[in-house]
Each structure stands twice: as structure tokens, then as C-alpha cells.
Amino acid sequence: MATKNLGKKGIFLTFIAISIIAALIIIFRPSDLNVGEDSEAIKTRIANVNEYVSDLENVYLERTLHATGIKTINSLILYTEINGFFTDLPAFEANFKEVLLNGTIGEAPIDSITGQEIMKDNTYNDWLGNISIIAKDAFNVNTNFTVYDIKVYQIRPWFVNVDANVSFLVSSETALWDKNTTIRTEIGLEGFEDPYYLVNTGGAYSNRINKSKNLVYKAWNIHTLGT
């Protein structure tokens, strides 16, 4: 009787072992629902968009501001050749902002005034629009920009600074990025046509801005300019 009971216990233990292993296999079996694959795809997608947002904030907005800033300066130099200097600094700042953002001056396309295609499809707003379209195509995200202000000023010789106060909203099905940032770029003035020559000679003579090698800050005088 005792033997029979012991034998039954052994079989019982075997069944328990089989049941536990079966349960383990069922629990740890990769699901047919492909939850793992979905989450992996979402993870990759968010990582891609996050990288895009970071690149936008740290590189793209600055680089396009720099490039359009150069084009704006070139356009305004040609504009002053035709129309003379701006009346004052605020007038220059307002026109710089309008040309950089819209490619217009007094709502007229600056390219039609200067006769050169510089700002067409190359305004800051154009470049913001371009990246929105590409991002929609590449990552299926919506990107909306708002440019609050553009400031142009000078803090050291031979360079012009341009600041853009921009906010952007990147939204996808899974996440949303809302950023407000001030983009700052510095444009070297060497190599641009000197508007002083263009305006005062009526465009008859042009001279590119060039930093003299003999010029020492705070030590320059009329005698060093000719060398």
C-alpha cells in the first residue's frame, strides 16, 4: 500500500514538471501578435524623429539662416546701388527682415528691383517649408514653424550677426516636440561688394570688402590704408 502511494507521487511530480515546462514555454514563447516587432519599429521611428528634431534645432536652422543671410546681404547691396543708402538703422533692419523672410522689400519682390534672381525660392521661409515637406515624406511628421523675429546687428568688426527667434512644432502619431529657440549666426563681410563704392560712384566702380593685413585694431590711420 505504501509502495503504491510512493509510485503515485513520482508520476505526480513528473506531471508537475511537464506542466511547469509547458507553462514556461507558453509564457516565454514569442507572441504571434508581433508586439516585439511593433515596439521595435516605434522605437526606431521615434529615434529617427528625435534625431531630426535635434538636427533641426542645432544645425539646419542655423545653416539656412547663414545661407539666406548671405543672399539677403547680396540683394540689399544691389538694392542700395539702385536706391541709395537706407535712411536709418531701423529702416535697414526692417528691410533686412523682410528680404530674409519673404524676399520682398515694401512687398515688391527684391529680385524684380535688382534684376537678379537671388532670393527666389531661397528665403528663410522657403527653406523652412522645404524641410517640412521632406520630413513629412521621410518620417511622416508634421513640422510647423513660426518665426517671431529677426534681428541684425554687429558686435565686432568684419562680421554681421543675425538672430532668429523661431518656434517649431514637430508632431507624429506617437510623439510631439515643441521647441522655442533663438538661432544665431555670424556672417563674415569680407568678399561682399562694398556698397559705399557702388552708391557713391553710381555703380561705376565696385570694390570688394577686404581686410587689410596691415590693419591693427585701434592702431590704424590714414597712412596704413593705402598699403
**C-alpha distance from residue 120 to each of 127, 141, 187 (Å):** 11, 26, 21
Cβ-based nearer residue to another protein, 65 or 147: 65
Exposure on the CB side of residue 46, measured as CA atoms within 13 A: 10
Cβ-based nearer residue to another protein, 37 or 149: 37
98 and 104 in contact (C-beta within 8 Å)? yes
Contact between 42 and another protein (CB under 8 A)? no
Under rule CB under 8 A, which residues in 86-125 are in contact with another protein? 118, 122
Taking contact as CB under 8 A, which single stretch among the options 68-76, 89-97, 104-112, 149-157 is the one that binds another protein? Answer: 68-76
Taking contact as CB under 8 A, which single stretch among the options 65-73, 91-99, 103-111, 209-217 is the one that binds another protein? Answer: 65-73
Contact between 46 and another protein (CB under 8 A)? no
Shortest spacing between CB 220 and another protein, in angstroms:
26
139 and 47 in contact (C-beta within 8 Å)? no
Binding residue for another protein, selected from 79, 96, 127, 168, defined by CB under 8 A = 127
Q: Count residues contacting another protein (CB under 8 A)?
A: 45
Would you call 219 exposed, middle or buried from its count of C-beta atoms within 10 A (0-12, 13-18, 19+)?
exposed
Contact between 128 and another protein (CB under 8 A)? no
What distance in Å separates the CA atoms of residue 170 and residue 130, rounded to the nearest whole number? 14
What distance in Å separates the CA atoms of residue 38 and residue 26, rounded to the nearest whole number? 20
Alpha helices in the chain (DSSP H): 2-28, 35-55, 61-83, 89-102, 110-114, 124-139, 195-200, 222-225
Sequence-separated (6 or more) residues with CB below 8 Å from residue 215: 224
Contact between 28 and another protein (CB under 8 A)? yes
φ and ψ at 19, to 5 degrees?
Answer: -65, -45
Taking contact as CB under 8 A, which single stretch among the options 34-42, 88-96, 99-107, 156-164 is the one that binds another protein? Answer: 34-42
Taking contact as CB under 8 A, which single stretch among the options 33-41, 97-105, 147-155, 194-202 is the one that binds another protein? Answer: 33-41
Binding residue for another protein, selected from 61, 64, 166, 177, defined by CB under 8 A = 64
**Count of residues making up the chain:** 227
Contact between 137 and another protein (CB under 8 A)? yes
Return residues touching another protein (CB under 8 A): 2-3, 6-7, 10, 13-14, 17-18, 21, 24-25, 28-30, 36-37, 40-41, 44, 48, 51-52, 55, 60, 63-64, 66-71, 74, 118, 122, 127, 130-131, 134-135, 137-139, 191
